[in-house]
Amino acid sequence: MTNEEIEARLFVLEAFVMTALGMYLANASNDPTYEKATALLDFLRRTARSNAAASSPNVQAHAAAYSDFLTNLVTANLRLMRGESSQSH
């Protein structure tokens, strides 16, 4: 598999995973204050950092920044799916 094929697959996987996670969180019952969603997203951030811990500091920094970007995106999408303004929290 070429680097371009791997890159293309990552773009597709990211879109699928982020959409599925957002839909799951948006449909999660009994979480009006986002406690469960926040706990899950914090766990995902910690796991991403842990998985990158054996890599170079540069890779670790990129992994941390990317996990923050994705979890912030999910949070914004969750609020939109629940019909809230991004400014209400």
pLDDT tens per residue across span 18-59: 888 877 877 776 777 888 888 888 988 898 899 889 989 998
Q: Put residue 34 in one of left, alpha, beta given phi > 0 → left and psi -120 to 50 → alpha.
A: left
Domain range list for the chain: 3-81
Q: pTM of the predicted model, to two decimals?
A: 0.70
At position 55, the amino acid (one-letter code) is S
Q: What is the dihedral of CA 42, 48, 53, 59, to 10 degrees?
A: -120
Report long-range pairs for 52-57 (Cβ below 8 Å, ≥24 apart). none
pLDDT tens per residue across span 79-89: 787 777 655 44
The full length of the chain comes to 89
